[in-house]
C-alpha cells in the first residue's frame, strides 16, 4: 500500500476516534450545570474514563505525518499538537478544581452539622424551659404537645409532677446525645467512596495531562512538551559526573540578587559588631576617666583636711 494512502487511512481513523470521544462527552455533559459540584465530578470522571480514545487518535495523527511527506499531514499534526497543549493545561487544572470541590464539600457538611446541632440545642432548651415552668401535669402535657416533645400519656398524669419532669428531661437529654453521636463528619465511612472517586479522578487527570504533553509535538524544537519540561527540571538538578548544565537566565539572576542581598546583610552585621565594640570601648574609657576624676577629687579633699589640721 502507498504510504500516502496509509497515512490517509490513519488520519480518517483518528478523526473517527475524536468524533466518538466528543459525542460521548457531549451526551454525558448535557444539560450543563456549571455550579453543580456533582455535575463537575461526573464530567471529570467521563473525561478520564474515555481519555484513551483521543490519545490513540493523536498518536495515529503523528504516525500519519511520519508515513507521508505531504504538507497537509504535517499541518494537521502541528494544529493538533497545539490543541494538545491546551488540553494538557485543562487536565492539569482539574487537580486544583477537584481539591476545591473536596474542601467546599467538607465545609458544607460541617456547616450542616453545626446548624443541626444549634437547632437540636434550641429545641432541647425550649422543652427544658417548658418543663421548669409547668405547674401541673396537664399543663406539662399541653406544653409537650405544643412543642412536639416527649408526650405525657393519661397514665402519667397520676404520677407526681417532679417525677414526670425528671422522666421528660431524661428523654430529652438521651435524644440529644443520640443525635449528636449520629452526626457524620466529612471523613466518615459514608463519604469514603466519594473521596476515593475524587482521588481516582485526580490521579488519572495528572496521567492524562502528561500523556497529552508527551504527544504535544513542537515543530520548531522538534520535541514534545513533556520532553521540554523534563529538560527544564533536569537543568535545575545539581551537576553530576562533572557535567555542567546550563541554568535558566531567570534563575541565574535570582541567584545573583540573593547573593548580593546576603553579602549586604553580612556587611551590615560586621558594621553593627564594630559599632558595638567601639561603643563598649568608649564606655569603658569614660568609666576609667570618671574613676580617675573621683580619685583626684578625693585626694584633693584629703589634702585639704590635713592642711587644716
Around Cβ 110, how many Cβ atoms within 10 Å? 13
Q: Assess contact for 61 and 16: CB atoms under 8 A.
A: no
Tens digit of each residue's pLDDT (9 = 90 or more) over 145-193? 777 777 776 666 667 777 777 777 777 777 777 777 776 766 667 667 7
Q: Assess contact for 152 and 167: CB atoms under 8 A.
A: no
Cell reading at 145: 404537645
Locus of grid cell 437540636: 120
CA distance 48 to 207: 9
Q: Assess contact for 173 and 131: CB atoms under 8 A.
A: no
Quick one: which H or E segment has residue 223? strand 223-224
Around Cβ 167, how many Cβ atoms within 10 Å? 15
pTM: 0.60
Chain centroid to Cα 242, Å, comes to 39
Cα torsion 137, 139, 140, 144 to 10°: value is 140
Q: Assess contact for 97 and 40: CB atoms under 8 A.
A: yes
Tens digits of pLDDT across the chain (309 residues): 577 788 888 888 999 999 999 999 998 888 888 777 788 888 888 999 999 999 999 999 988 888 877 888 888 888 888 899 899 999 999 888 888 888 877 777 777 777 877 878 888 788 788 777 777 777 777 777 777 777 776 666 667 777 777 777 777 777 777 777 776 766 667 667 778 888 888 899 999 999 988 888 877 777 888 887 877 777 666 555 555 555 556 667 777 888 888 888 888 887 877 777 777 777 777 777 878 777 877 777 777 666 665
* Residue ranges of domains in the chain: 3-111+187-236, 114-182, 247-309
Q: What is the CA radius of gyration of the chain?
A: 41
CA distance 45 to 51: 10
Torsional sign, CA 292, 294, 295, 296: positive
Amino acid at each position: 500500500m502507498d504510504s500516502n494512502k496509509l497515512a490517509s487511512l490513519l488520519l480518517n481513523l483518528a478523526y473517527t476516534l475524536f468524533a466518538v470521544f466528543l459525542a460521548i462527552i457531549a451526551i454525558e455533559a448535557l444539560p450543563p450545570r456549571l455550579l453543580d459540584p456533582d455535575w463537575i465530578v461526573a464530567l471529570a470522571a467521563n473525561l478520564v474514563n474515555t481519555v484513551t480514545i483521543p490519545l490513540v487518535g493523536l498518536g495515529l495523527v503523528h504516525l500519519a505525518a511520519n508515513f507521508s511527506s505531504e504538507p497537509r499531514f504535517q499541518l494537521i499534526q502541528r494544529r493538533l499538537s497545539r490543541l494538545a497543549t491546551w488540553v494538557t493545561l485543562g487536565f492539569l487544572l482539574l487537580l486544583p478544581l477537584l481539591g476545591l470541590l473536596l474542601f467546599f464539600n467538607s465545609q458544607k457538611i460541617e456547616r450542616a452539622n453545626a446548624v443541626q446541632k444549634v437547632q437540636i440545642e434550641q429545641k432541647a432548651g425550649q422543652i427544658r424551659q417548658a418543663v421548669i415552668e409547668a405547674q401541673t401535669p396537664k399543663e406539662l402535657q399541653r406544653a409537650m404537645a405544643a412543642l412536639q416533645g416527649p408526650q405525657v400519656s393519661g397514665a402519667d398524669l397520676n404520677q407526681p409532677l417532679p417525677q414526670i419532669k425528671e422522666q421528660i428531661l431524661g428523654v430529652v437529654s438521651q435524644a440529644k446525645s443520640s443525635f449528636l453521636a449520629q452526626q457524620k463528619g466529612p471523613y466518615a465511612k459514608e463519604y469514603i467512596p466519594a473521596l476515593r472517586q475524587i482521588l481516582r479522578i485526580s490521579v488519572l487527570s495528572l496521567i492524562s495531562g502528561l500523556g497529552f504533553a508527551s504527544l504535544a509535538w513542537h515543530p520548531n524544537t522538534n520535541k514534545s512538551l513533556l520532553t521540554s519540561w523534563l529538560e527544564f527540571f533536569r537543568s535545575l538538578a545539581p551537576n553530576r559526573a562533572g557535567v555542567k548544565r546550563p541554568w535558566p537566565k531567570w534563575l541565574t539572576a535570582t541567584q545573583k540578587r540573593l547573593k548580593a542581598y546576603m553579602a549586604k546583610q553580612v556587611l551590615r552585621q560586621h558594621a553593627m559588631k564594630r559599632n558595638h565594640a567601639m561603643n563598649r570601648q568608649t564606655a569603658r574609657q569614660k568609666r576609667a576617666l570618671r574613676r580617675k576624676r573621683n580619685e583626684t577629687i578625693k585626694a584633693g579633699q584629703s589634702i585639704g583636711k590635713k592642711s587644716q589640721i
